[in-house]
Structure 1
Amino acid sequence: MGNTDKFEMIADRYDTPERVEIAKESAAAIREYLVEAKSKSAIDFGCGTGLVGMNLLNEFDSMLFLDTSQGMIEQIKQKIAGSNLQKATTLCFDFEKDSLAGLHADYIFMAQVLLHIPDVGLVLSRLYEVLKEGGHLLIVDFDKNEKVVSDQVHNGFEQTELVELMTEIGYRKIQTRTFYTGAKFMGQDASLFILDSQKL
């Protein structure tokens, strides 16, 4: 997945106060869209150090923390071990390079992950395959910001364009809204949106 090398280098110092705060806000936004999730399985896709997923662990029956960075996975393993969490597992895997047959979940959520993925359509299609019937994909990411110029990440997303792409893939009942302003994105003031979609 995009920028894995960079994340390997910062894994042990990733959890800054700002990232912890935004993770709490993101988890709260995701929580609003959960329906009878206590018996459901979840994947924290592109989990990083698990900041968002750890906030949501008690909402699900089980959670898989998945990331392309082994350094990030080591960080979440330490958190899981330190808290003796029975329903959390980890996997280091790159969905851009391969699809993972046999992996299925009721909920997949990804927070500030999509902007690092060069081929957005490919990964969203592969996640669609992983979702169980009736399952939800929840995306938290930056609204498009023309002031952000980078050859490493997307400069955010137009919510309507993302809805169109996901509809083409097969996602249904898509709803989206901006829920957080005041974040920083590559040094620019930015806002975050949440998108909820279903595989029906």
Structure 2
Amino acid sequence: MKTPKWYYEEKQIGVDYLDSKIAEKYDDEHQKFRDFNAEAQDVVDKLEITEEDIVLDFGCGTGGIALNLAKYCKKVICVDISQQMLDILKTKAEEQNITNIETHCAGFLTYKHEGDKVDKVISKFALHHLPDFWKSVALLRIADILKTGGKFYLFDVIFTFNPEDYKNSFNEFIETLRNDGGDSMADETMIHIKDEFSTYDWIMEGLFEKTGFSIDLKEIEAENCISYICSKV
């Protein structure tokens, strides 16, 4: 079916990870304040991932999570709009002799799933690239990819403050990231606030409800960072 002219064009907003030089620095920058091994193990435990599961990772980036998940499941489908990031992921997979992955240069709105429905879908720090309406379209598409009863894990920058407190909250958020990741991460956070589409938790939860998901677990992991585990109804 031909894509209508009004359909949203997924594109890189904020920090340009389509730039190979920036993509190459991604792991070094994020490892200043992230532990990908621990994050992957947390996902495995919370979603009860088994060796029979097929897992899809939307916004997989350079594979910090996906390549670790591949050790625990049948296959990981890695989806990202940045071919540069996927190229790094594939190089790392070859170096680590990980063969149970497949990669697709696509986004939430353009990925075309083939084959059986998947058991689990995860997404970390990616859905905020879509405005709220298009988040709902993405969630509908994720629900269509998942088996009934399948699990969706979302971890993203999602705001919890009262709207009237936004100035103080953003300033505190930026300084927290500066302390954790240095000036470059503070700069990325400012770009995120200005150019990207993070939303409030009460909006996100309404989107889940309207797109065929029930929320099993909500955890505020850090200031303005929330994880959800949802089941496809």
Normalised-by-shorter TM-score class: 0.7 to 0.9
TM superposition shift of 1:20? 6.4
Aligned to 2:112: 100
Q: Does 1:153 align with 2:168?
A: no
Secondary structure at the counterpart of residue 163 of structure 1? helix
Which residue number corresponds to residue 175 of structure 2?
Answer: none
Q: How does 1:26-105 map to 2 (within 5 A)?
A: 26-96=39-109, 98=110, 100-102=112-114, 104-105=117-118
> 2:4: which partner in 1?
none
What's the secondary structure of 2:27's corresponding residue? coil
Q: Distance in 2 between matches of 1:112 and 1:166?
A: 17
What are the residue-to-residue correspondences of 1:122-133 with 2, within 5 Å? 122-133=137-148
193 and 19 in structure 1: CA distance in 2 versus 1, 3 angstrom threshold: farther
* CA gap 1:21/1:89 in 2 versus in 1, 3 angstroms: farther
Quote the residue 1:7 is aligned against.
Answer: 17
Q: Deviations over 1:77-135 (max 9, x none)?
A: 10111111121111112332x35242531111000001112321111111111111221
The residue type equivalent to 2:119 in the other structure is D
CA 1:18–1:68: 2 relative to 1, 3 Å: closer
Q: Distance in 1 between matches of 2:32 and 2:148?
A: 32
CA distance in 1, matches of 2:212, 2:67: 29
Describe the shift of the 1:101–1:109 C-alpha distance in structure 2 as closer, same or farther (beyond 3 A): closer
Structure in which a larger fraction of residues adopt helix? 2
TM-score by structure 1 length? 0.83
Distance in 2, Cα, partners of 1:195 & 1:167: 13
Matches within 5 A, 1:131-150: 131-144=146-159, 146=166, 147=170, 150=193
Percent identity for Structure 1 against Structure 2: 21
Aligned length: 189
Provide runs of 4+ in structure 1 moved above 3 Å.
Answer: 17-21, 148-151
Deviation at 1:51, TM superposition (A): 1.1
RMSD of aligned alpha carbons: 2.3
Tell me which amino acid in the other structure corresponds to 2:196.
Answer: V
> 2:58, 2:108 within 8 Å by CA — same for their partners in 1?
no
Look at both structures and tell me which one has the larger radius of gyration over its CA atoms.
2
Structure 1 residue runs without a partner (length 5+): 182-189
TM-aligned CA deviation for residue 194 of structure 1: 0.8
Give the Cα–Cα distance (whole angstroms) in 2 for the partners of residues 139 and 38 of structure 1: 21
Structure 2 stretches of 5 or more lacking a match? 1-9, 171-189
Residues 36, 73 of structure 1: alpha-carbon distance in 2 compared, 3 angstrom cutoff: closer
Q: Please give the TM-score of this superposition, normalised by the length of structure 2.
A: 0.72
